[in-house]
Amino acid sequence: MRVLIQLRPSPDLVAAVADPSVSSMASDVADNLPGVVLDHSYAPVAVPRPMPASLGGDPLSLNQPLVFSMAPQDASVVVRGEIADDEVTSRIALLPAAHRDVVAVYADPAIESSLTCGGDPAVGDWHDVERLLRVPDLTAEGLDGSGVPLAVVDTGINAAYVKAARGHDVTVDHERSWSPQSVSGTPGDFPVDHGTMCAFDALIAAPKASLVDVPVLLSRRQGGSTLDGLLSDAIAAYAHLREVIDAQPAESRALVVTNSWGSFSPRWDFPPGHPGNYSDNPAHPFNLIVGSLAEAGADILFAAGNCGAQCRDSRCAYPDRPIVGANSHPRALSIGGIDTSGTRVGYSSQGPGRLAARKPDVCAYTHFAGSGALGDDEPDSGTSAACPVAAGLVAAVRSRWPATVLAPAQLRTLLRRTADDRSAVGYDHDYGYGVVDAAGIIAALRRRAAKAA
Q: Which residues are catalytically annotated? A: 154, 194, 384
Give the Cα separation of 440 and 204 in Å (integer): 18
* Alpha carbon distance 194, 388 (integer Å): 11
Query: To which H or E segment does residue 143 belong?
Result: none
The torsion of the CA quartet 313, 317, 318, 321, rounded to 10 degrees, works out to 0
Task: Answer for the pair 313, 306: CB distance below 8 angstroms, yes or no.
Answer: yes
Pairing mode of beta strands 149-153, 210-214: parallel
Confirm if 446 and 367 have CB atoms less than 8 A apart: no
Whole-number Å distance between alpha carbons of 105 and 6: 6
Contacts of 195 by beta carbon, 8 Å cutoff, 6+ apart: 152, 154, 155, 156, 157, 213, 215, 217
Report the distance separating Cα 403 and Cα 248, nearest Å: 11
275 vs 76: CA distance, rounded Å: 16
